[in-house]
């Protein structure tokens, strides 16, 4: 049986800009093994975030194929159970406290009982927010909000985490702490990680480093 958890083959994506057709991704190929940590770097506008959205099934390529563990099913229901996503902008629900934001990931896939609440609390403890569970996002610092987002991404014990510039809104020290936390938790749980980052130091902490240039991996 293949150890591949994610496979992208010949991924092409174009966008219209006025009368111009801009080919952002030009036949990208990527095979990710279970348990790997991979970083993707590239200049601004190189298509890093576009590629990650395609890998997450949030958008469809113009050409090429995407499979998760050999299956082409990348629909919303499977996505909620199969992968977790950490975005640059956190995307926490402002009316919900940290604990309820983490639990939202579970609400998408099923019932929330005492076991699920205990798991959410344990994850918040693991990311250093044991004393901040009842705080709203506006009461948390940027680093704390991203830690909530990391806990939320791990809530459903996903096979894969996709992180799109997760330190982009953080200062250097806080960003490094979040990366170390994310990598450490993924290693402990055996979760595969694909990290999009502009930061060379963060990228180097992953097991495999890729660079996106002119629509393909260099």
What confidence tens digit (pLDDT) does each residue in 65-75 have?
Answer: 999 999 999 99
What is the number of alpha carbons within 13 Å of residue 139 lying toward its C-beta?
11
**CA gap 29, 12 in Å, rounded:** 10
Task: Summarize pLDDT for 19-59 with one digit per residue, the tens.
Answer: 888 899 999 999 999 999 999 999 888 899 999 999 999 99
Q: Is 71 exposed, middle or buried (0-12, 13-18, 19+ CB in 10 A)?
A: exposed
The pLDDT assigned to 110 comes to 81
Higher local confidence (pLDDT), 45 or 147: 147
Give the global pTM: 0.93
User: What CATH number is attached to the domain comprising 129?
Assistant: 3.40.50.300
pLDDT at 19: 85
pLDDT at 1 over 50: no
- Residue 166 has a pLDDT of 93
pLDDT in tens, 184-208: 999 999 999 999 999 999 999 999 9
Please report whether residue 120 resides in a domain.
yes
Nearest residue to 215 (alpha-carbon basis) of 29, 21, 6: 29
Q: Which residue has the higher pLDDT, 218 or 101?
A: 101
Count of domains for the chain: 1
H/E/C letters for each residue in 166-189?
Answer: CCCCCCHHHHHHHHHHHHHHHHHH
Answer for the pair 134, 99: CB distance below 8 angstroms, yes or no: yes
Q: Is 67 within a domain?
A: no
**Residues 9, 29 contacting (CB under 8 angstroms):** yes
Domain membership flag for residue 79 = yes
Q: What is the pLDDT of residue 218?
A: 82
Residue 21 in domain? no
Is residue 1, in this structure, part of any structural domain at all? Answer: no
Domain with 131 in it = 37-62+72-217
The answer to the question of residue 26 being in a domain is no
Is residue 92 within 8 A of residue 139, CB to CB? The reply is: no
Going by their DSSP bridges, the two strands 4-17 and 63-68 should be labelled as antiparallel
Residue 2 is predicted with a pLDDT of 60
85-144 pLDDT tens trace? 999 899 999 999 999 999 999 988 888 999 999 999 999 999 999 999 999 999 999 999
For the chain, give percent helix, strand, coil, nearest 5. Answer: 35, 30, 35
């Amino acid at each position: 049986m293949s150890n591949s958890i994610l496979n992208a083959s010949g991924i092409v994506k174009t966008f219209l800009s006025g009368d111009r057709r801009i080919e952002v991704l030009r036949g990208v190929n990527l095979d990710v093994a279970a348990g790997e940590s991979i970083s993707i770097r590239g200049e601004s506008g190189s298509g890093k975030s576009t590629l990650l959205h395609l890998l997450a099934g949030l958008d469809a390529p113009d050409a090429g194929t995407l499979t998760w563990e050999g299956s082409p099913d990348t629909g919303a229901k499977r996505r909620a159970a199969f992968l977790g996503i950490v975005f640059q902008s956190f995307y926490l629900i402002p009316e919900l406290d940290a604990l309820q934001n983490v639990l939202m990931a579970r609400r998408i896939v099923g019932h929330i009982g005492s076991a699920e609440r205990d798991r959410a609390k344990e994850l918040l403890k693991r990311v250093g927010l044991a004393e901040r569970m009842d705080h709203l996002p506006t009461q948390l610092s940027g680093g704390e909000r991203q830690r909530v987002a990391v806990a939320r991404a791990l809530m459903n014990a996903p096979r894969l985490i996709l992180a799109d510039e997760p330190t982009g809104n953080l200062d250097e020290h806080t960003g490094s702490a979040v990366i170390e936390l994310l990598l450490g938790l993924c290693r402990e749980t055996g979760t595969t990680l694909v990290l999009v980052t502009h930061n060379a130091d963060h990228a180097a902490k992953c097991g495999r480093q890729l660079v996106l240039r002119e629509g393909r991996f260099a």
